[in-house]
A and B are shown apart, each in its own frame.
Chain A
Amino acid sequence: MGKTIIDKLWDQHIVHREEGKPDLLYIDLHLVHEVTSPQAFSGLRMKNRKVRRPDRTFATVDHNVPTVNRFNITDPVANNQMETLRQNCKEFGITLADINSPEQGIVHVIGPELGLTQPGMTIVCGDSHTSTHGAFGSIAFGIGTSEVEHTLATQTLWQSKPKTLKVQVDGKLGTGVLAKDVILYVLSKHGVNFGTGHIIEYCGEVIRDMTMEERMTVCNMSIEGGARAGLVSPDETTIEYLRGRKYVPSGQEFEETAEKWLALASDEDATYDKEIYIDASEIAPMVSWGTNPSQTAPVTGRVPFLNECANENERRSVESALAYMDFKEGQQISDIKIQKVFIGSCTNSRLEDLRMAAEIAKGRKVAPGVQAIVVPGSQNVKVLAEAEGLDKIFLEAGFEWRESGCSMCLSMNADIVPAGEHCASTSNRNFEGRQGAGSRTHLVSPAMAAAAAVNGYFVDVRKMESAEAVH
């Protein structure tokens, strides 16, 4: 019987297996940022322990960094956290893409663009969106600070093997329907815990047709369905993306490595613990209306009525979401007015995301009363976008063009949505208060966010001129 890529990678990384214990897994790459690491380094220092493999550890600052005046950090607590990471990297010999580095950016954007992220790896980071790196055919998952410390000290983690879950998306996506809409649709159909205890493998024609950046968007939000990891088997698209990147081998060695990577793909006859099938023709541009990512509807749809709820738990959850968002039952999505737009985050801040938003923004103006910010995922993305003139398109349309970081996805820096305001956001979580106390988040694709920015409310991007360029 064939094996899934999940089984293959898991087995390859077992350092120790013993009845009655989780497996001891080797970790190939450990990504570190300023927020979830300080206590882990303190733990090492207290016990006089070293970082086992600084060469397999890479750090950056992203969560706290300002996106304007980035060298003038006015929040002393945030500044202390960044300074602490600087000291820790120096003391333990870890490479740091610091705020002044051309490689700085959101940890899940820079890993892939530097070629640190590679097929076949186990990758961890003290951040739940580490699932992003699964797009390359790696087992990548978020960990807490205790596990950050464990990885730093031992380059391993004790992990019980999760079950396998196949999510197959068949057919072709319509014009104006993007990777973000695919994963939001899956969440709207299957809820916020369909993936708990599982690693997802995304497959099917739609996933095969996707670029690497689109696959990253899909894998990124695996955790919103409860799955710690989500991945895609490597193929030619994966290989071509990685060719020539900084940390991958070059020349003949790259060709040989690429052959090994391709062999990791799931076997045709592999079986999974659970399978979900999605028909791409059913997917429309999506907009979240509630306070978890499964509370999402097509832009042509509406908020539910309470009497449509399947059970008491769902009813309570919808009721509290409607109260928080200040919506009436049955409200049309297209009637939702917005005051803020955020284009960025580890979900949607890469070059292709910015291109798609720019296609819609081009020649139009941000609606009166709306503030729209564009935050490239990394300094690299920013440079590439500027080389194409995307910054000028955004600025002419009245968007703000910022420096790279996590920014308004979780608003740990100064980029905050004021209480009561609605934000069209390309990020990954619409939890209460996520973008600021009392903020109301609507998760959308970059094209839908730009469309909302120039209209002041949600419109179906498929009905806008220039929508044909968005796919």
Chain B
Amino acid sequence: MAGLTTLRGKVAGMNRVNVDTDQIIPKQFLKRTEKTGFGQYLFYDWRFLADGTPNPEFELNRPENQGASILVANDNFGCGSSREHAPWALQDYGIQVVIAPSFADIFHQNCLKNGMLPVVLKEEEVHYLLEKAKSASYELTVSVEDKTIKDAEGFQAEFPLSAYWQKMLINGWDEIELTLQMDDQIKRYEDSLI
């Protein structure tokens, strides 16, 4: 996995609370056996009308949100099902960073495991960004090293990120490989069970 240190990108806003993973990637698209190709189905039931044409009302279909790599959302983003297809779909669509006042636990974890960054900011900061995101040219710079988010107009916010995940993201490390190096310790634990 490629490392993630800093990212500068366009921002799309989605001012909805409790966006569940059934909306992010509806169940009829979970039958694939690969990790790729889910972007076309992202937010399918919101993004497309019954006849398959794009719903012009939906946030990601608006002209100002085209080409966004940063999504700003509201409370409890990614709640519900544990399907990792949700971050896969966001990533495949082009979203690398999601900002919200809070995330559901499993979704939060699933993002990190795929080199995506879930950013928790204060409610007033998120509301500021949701307003700003209405402009087509609005961009943010996200630094994993400094744990900060900045715009070109003087906005700056720090976000929490554990030292562990900071290191994992920056280096793009394979977590399984690291754990396998601890095989002796796992073996010792297993021996103690008998």
A36 interface residue (CB < 8 Å to B): yes
Which among A15, A419, A429 is the interface contact of B80 at CB below 8 angstroms? A429
Instruction: Known A153-B176, A226-B105, A316-B16; judge A192-B79 contact (CB<8 A).
Output: yes
Q: Contact at B31–A64, with CB atoms within 8 Å? A: yes
Which among B26, B74, B84, B102 is the interface contact of A146 at CB below 8 angstroms? B84
A348 interface residue (CB < 8 Å to B): no
B22 interface residue (CB < 8 Å to A): yes
A254 interface residue (CB < 8 Å to B): no
| Cβ contacts under 8 Å, B190 to chain A | 26, 155
Instruction: Known A158-B175, A292-B18; judge A35-B74 contact (CB<8 A).
Output: no
Instruction: Known A144-B110, A196-B76; judge A80-B31 contact (CB<8 A).
Output: yes
Q: Contact at B82–A143, with CB atoms within 8 Å? A: yes
A463 interface residue (CB < 8 Å to B): no
Q: Which of B120-151 contact A (CB under 8 A)?
A: none
* Alpha-carbon gap, A26 to B80, bound state (A): 25
Q: Contact at A429–B22, with CB atoms within 8 Å? A: yes
**How close is A120's CB to chain B, nearest CB, in angstroms?**
11
Q: Contact at B163–A20, with CB atoms within 8 Å? A: yes
Q: Contact at B113–A21, with CB atoms within 8 Å? A: no
B185 interface residue (CB < 8 Å to A): yes
A237 interface residue (CB < 8 Å to B): no
| Cβ contacts under 8 Å, A149 to chain B | 176
Q: Contact at A146–B33, with CB atoms within 8 Å? A: no
Q: Contact at A80–B113, with CB atoms within 8 Å? A: no
| Cβ contacts under 8 Å, B153 to chain A | none
Nearest-neighbor residue (CB-CB) of B30 within chain A: A35
Q: Which of A188-216 contact B (CB under 8 A)?
A: 192-193, 196-197
Interface centre among B75, B175, B182 (most CB of A within 10 A): B175
Segment among A244-252, A386-394, A430-438, A453-461 that sits at the interface with chain B: A430-438
Q: Contact at A154–B105, with CB atoms within 8 Å? A: no
Q: Contact at A434–B83, with CB atoms within 8 Å? A: no
Q: Contact at B186–A128, with CB atoms within 8 Å? A: no
Instruction: Known A36-B82, A145-B84; judge A156-B179 contact (CB<8 A).
Output: yes
Q: Contact at B186–A156, with CB atoms within 8 Å? A: yes
| Cβ contacts under 8 Å, A336 to chain B | none
A317 interface residue (CB < 8 Å to B): yes
* Alpha-carbon gap, A245 to B64, bound state (A): 60
B 97-109 to A, binary, CB cutoff 8 A, 1 in contact else 0: 0000010111001
Which among A16, A127, A153, A197 is the interface contact of B105 at CB below 8 angstroms? A197
| Cβ contacts under 8 Å, B161 to chain A | none
**How close is B53's CB to chain A, nearest CB, in angstroms?**
15
Q: Contact at B31–A192, with CB atoms within 8 Å? A: no
**How close is A28's CB to chain B, nearest CB, in angstroms?**
9
Q: Contact at B76–A193, with CB atoms within 8 Å? A: yes
**How close is A34's CB to chain B, nearest CB, in angstroms?**
9
Instruction: Known A154-B176, A317-B17, A412-B30; judge A36-B23 contact (CB<8 A).
Output: no
| Cβ contacts under 8 Å, A412 to chain B | 27-28, 30-31
Q: Contact at B114–A36, with CB atoms within 8 Å? A: no
Q: Contact at B182–A313, with CB atoms within 8 Å? A: no
Which among A64, A127, A192, A432 is the interface contact of B76 at CB below 8 angstroms? A192
**How close is A423's CB to chain B, nearest CB, in angstroms?**
15
Nearest-neighbor residue (CB-CB) of A198 within chain B: B105
**How close is A155's CB to chain B, nearest CB, in angstroms?**
7
Q: Contact at A228–B106, with CB atoms within 8 Å? A: yes
A405 interface residue (CB < 8 Å to B): no
* Alpha-carbon gap, A372 to B110, bound state (A): 36
A 8-21 to B, binary, CB cutoff 8 A, 1 in contact else 0: 00000001100011
We find that the number of chain A residues with CB closer than 8 angstroms to chain B is 65
A84 interface residue (CB < 8 Å to B): yes
Which among B45, B83, B113, B180 is the interface contact of A147 at CB below 8 angstroms? B113
* Alpha-carbon gap, A61 to B35, bound state (A): 20
* Alpha-carbon gap, A24 to B35, bound state (A): 26
Q: Contact at A433–B23, with CB atoms within 8 Å? A: yes
Which among A49, A80, A292, A437 is the interface contact of B45 at CB below 8 angstroms? A437
| Cβ contacts under 8 Å, B163 to chain A | 20-21
Q: Contact at A158–B80, with CB atoms within 8 Å? A: no
* Alpha-carbon gap, A126 to B164, bound state (A): 23
| Cβ contacts under 8 Å, A316 to chain B | 15-17
Q: Contact at B75–A228, with CB atoms within 8 Å? A: no
A 116-147 to B, binary, CB cutoff 8 A, 1 in contact else 0: 00000000001110100000000000111111
Q: Contact at B84–A226, with CB atoms within 8 Å? A: no
B 1-35 to A, binary, CB cutoff 8 A, 1 in contact else 0: 00000000000000111101011001110111111
Q: Contact at A431–B80, with CB atoms within 8 Å? A: yes
Q: Contact at B113–A78, with CB atoms within 8 Å? A: no
| Cβ contacts under 8 Å, A126 to chain B | 82, 84
* Alpha-carbon gap, A196 to B109, bound state (A): 13
A300 interface residue (CB < 8 Å to B): no
Which among A20, A49, A317 is the interface contact of B18 at CB below 8 angstroms? A317
Q: Contact at A15–B185, with CB atoms within 8 Å? A: yes
The contact sample of 9 A-B pairs, CB cut-off 8 A, is A21-B164, A77-B31, A128-B82, A143-B106, A144-B87, A223-B106, A412-B27, A429-B80, A431-B22
Known A-B contacts: A21-B163, A80-B33. Give 14 more (CB < 8 A). Answer: A26-B186, A64-B31, A77-B31, A128-B82, A145-B35, A147-B113, A192-B18, A192-B76, A193-B18, A226-B104, A228-B106, A429-B22, A432-B23, A433-B22
